[in-house]
């Protein structure tokens, strides 16, 4: 039995990258009863398996539009937890051979990990997504920047760490080396698999005018400001295309991009911003776009790029880091820089060159991405070989 800590995702309807990966992975791990999802209940003061209300949040269907990223406990959960802490026996966890922590856990959860470690006979493994807040602190929410140094140290207590890309793996190893830590757990790069999502019929005709789709949280590091400036340059030059933006807005770093979105909309530009959407609406957006643009400066993985390519839609993105890893397989217009001028030039070339667009589309359709079943097999094989370090 594998225990999987989903404390955050079982109390948040957010459908951003980490939450989508967590939900898809646990669904595959638990399909034959080989895994059990658990959370730390701060009101009960103990680790336990999910209750029905938490299961409902965690397994929200494809029609759910999601919600804020933060974990939220209902009043009923708080009252029940406190009552059972006073009156009920401590919950018992299933006998477990290994532990997986796929989330960026909070300091409160980190403080309780020793108790969870003690309940597991075999290896304890964490999934590491990125440390981009240390590379781009000015574009990252302050709370995330402040949390990362402690979190990266806490990962040293695990028996192994699975990084979502080679770039993320290198970042983690480099940080530990900078700290001067000699005894570190092994780090394995295992890229995310693909959640196929709802089946949506493909379009029968090309959208007219062409529709460009950008999927990603509206925040500083995602670089929407450069994309908006690039599109405005093309519109001013007479470009005929629509831009559709999908993604939850981070209130702490999204202000300037949201202001520009509203300004362009008020000026009559063909710009649509849908905010957070359901998986079904996202699939429809991919099916109906001409190509996608992912202007992010850097990513731990880059899920929207993979989703775009898997649906046969070319993507304009950075050629560096984890995004470069995804782009190397074909189907991307990978850029040395994702500044406004470079984005405008790349978008303009695809709009003006149907043959180039068709070539990239064919390359995207030829891509084969791992399934979560294949990911699970690789993950289990690696975990089985890990020794306990402490």
Query: Quick check: 118 and 3 in contact, CB under 8 A?
Result: no
pLDDT in tens, 214-245: 999 999 999 999 999 999 999 999 999 999 99
* Residue 75, φ and ψ in degrees, nearest 5: -60, -40
Query: Quick check: 164 and 300 in contact, CB under 8 A?
Result: yes
Q: What number of residues does the chain have?
A: 390
- The model carries a pTM of 0.91
Mean residue pLDDT of the chain comes to 92
pLDDT higher at 32 or 78: 78
Mean pLDDT of 27-31: 86
Residue 63 pLDDT class (50, 70, 90 cuts)? very low
CB neighbours of 29 closer than 8 A, spacing ≥ 6? 2, 4, 35, 100, 376
- Report how far residue 147's alpha carbon sits from residue 137's, in angstroms, rounded to the nearest whole number: 12
Mean pLDDT of 112-116: 96
Mean pLDDT of 37-54: 95
Bridge pairing between strands 35-41 and 46-49? antiparallel
Residue 64 pLDDT class (50, 70, 90 cuts)? low
Binning the chain into helix, strand and coil, the percentages to the nearest 5 are 45, 15, 40
- Report how far residue 232's alpha carbon sits from residue 265's, in angstroms, rounded to the nearest whole number: 11
Domains and CATH numbers, the chain: 2-193+371-385 (3.40.50), 211-365 (3.40.50.2000)
Tokens of 198: 């709802």
pLDDT in tens, 258-283: 999 999 999 999 999 999 898 889 99
Percent of residues, the chain, with pLDDT higher than 70: 95
Closest CA to 179 of 196, 214, 154, 197: 154
> Alpha-carbon Rg of the chain, whole angstroms?
22
Closest CA to 22 of 6, 11, 38, 34: 6
Is residue 229 classed exposed, middle or buried when 0-12, 13-18 and 19+ CB atoms within 10 A define those classes? middle
* Cβ neighbour number for residue 166 with a 10 Å cutoff: 14
- Report how far residue 288's alpha carbon sits from residue 163's, in angstroms, rounded to the nearest whole number: 33
pLDDT in tens, 1-26: 899 999 999 998 777 778 888 888 99
Whether the predicted pLDDT of 55 surpasses 80: yes
Query: Quick check: 388 and 122 in contact, CB under 8 A?
Result: yes
Mean pLDDT of 174-195: 95
* Residue 223, φ and ψ in degrees, nearest 5: 70, 35
- In the prediction, which pLDDT does 358 show? 95
Tokens of 312: 């046969």
pLDDT in tens, 190-206: 999 987 665 555 665 67
Give the single-character DSSP code of 42: T
Tokens of 28: 């595959």
Percent of residues, the chain, with pLDDT higher than 90: 76
């Amino acid at each position: 039995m594998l225990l999987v800590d989903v404390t955050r995702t079982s109390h948040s309807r957010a459908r951003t990258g980490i939450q989508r990966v967590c939900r898809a992975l646990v669904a595959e791990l638990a399909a034959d009863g080989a895994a059990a999802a658990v959370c730390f209940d701060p009101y009960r003061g103990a680790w336990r398996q999910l209750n029905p209300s938490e299961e409902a949040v965690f397994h929200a269907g494809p029609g759910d539009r999601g919600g804020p990223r933060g974990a939220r406990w209902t009043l009923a959960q708080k009252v029940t937890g406190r009552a059972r802490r006073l009156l009920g026996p401590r919950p018992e966890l299933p006998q477990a051979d290994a532990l997986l922590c796929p989330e960026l856990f909070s300091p409160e959860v980190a403080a309780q990990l020793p108790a969870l470690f003690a309940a597991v006979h075999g290896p304890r493994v964490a999934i590491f997504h990125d440390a981009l807040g240390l590379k781009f602190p000015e574009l990252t929410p302050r709370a995330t920047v402040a949390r990362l140094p402690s979190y990266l140290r806490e990962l040293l207590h695990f028996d192994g760490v699975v990084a979502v890309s080679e770039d993320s793996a290198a970042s983690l190893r480099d940080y530990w080396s900078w700290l001067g830590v000699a005894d570190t757990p092994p780090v394995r790069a295992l890229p995310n698999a693909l959640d196929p999502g709802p089946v949506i019929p493909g379009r029968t005709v090309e959208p007219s005018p062409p529709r460009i789709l950008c999927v990603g949280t509206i925040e500083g590091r995602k670089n929407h400001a450069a994309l908006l400036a690039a599109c405005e340059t093309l519109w001013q030059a007479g470009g005929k295309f629509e831009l559709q933006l999908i993604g939850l807005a981070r209130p702490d770093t999204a202000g300037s991009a949201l202001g520009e979105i509203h300004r362009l909309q008020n000026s009559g530009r063909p710009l649509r911003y849908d905010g957070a959407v359901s998986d079904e609406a996202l699939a429809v957006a991919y099916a109906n776009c001409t190509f996608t643009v992912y202007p992010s400066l850097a990513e731990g993985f880059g899920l929207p790029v993979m989703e775009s390519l898997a649906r046969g839609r070319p993507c304009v993105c950075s050629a560096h880091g984890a995004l470069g890893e995804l782009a190397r397989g074909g189907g991307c217009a990978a850029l040395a820089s994702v500044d406004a001028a470079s984005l405008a030039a790349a978008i303009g070339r695809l709009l003006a060159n149907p043959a180039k667009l068709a070539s990239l589309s064919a390359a995207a359709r030829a891509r084969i991405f791992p399934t979560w079943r294949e990911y699970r097999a690789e993950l289990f094989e690696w975990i089985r070989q890990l020794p306990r370090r402490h």
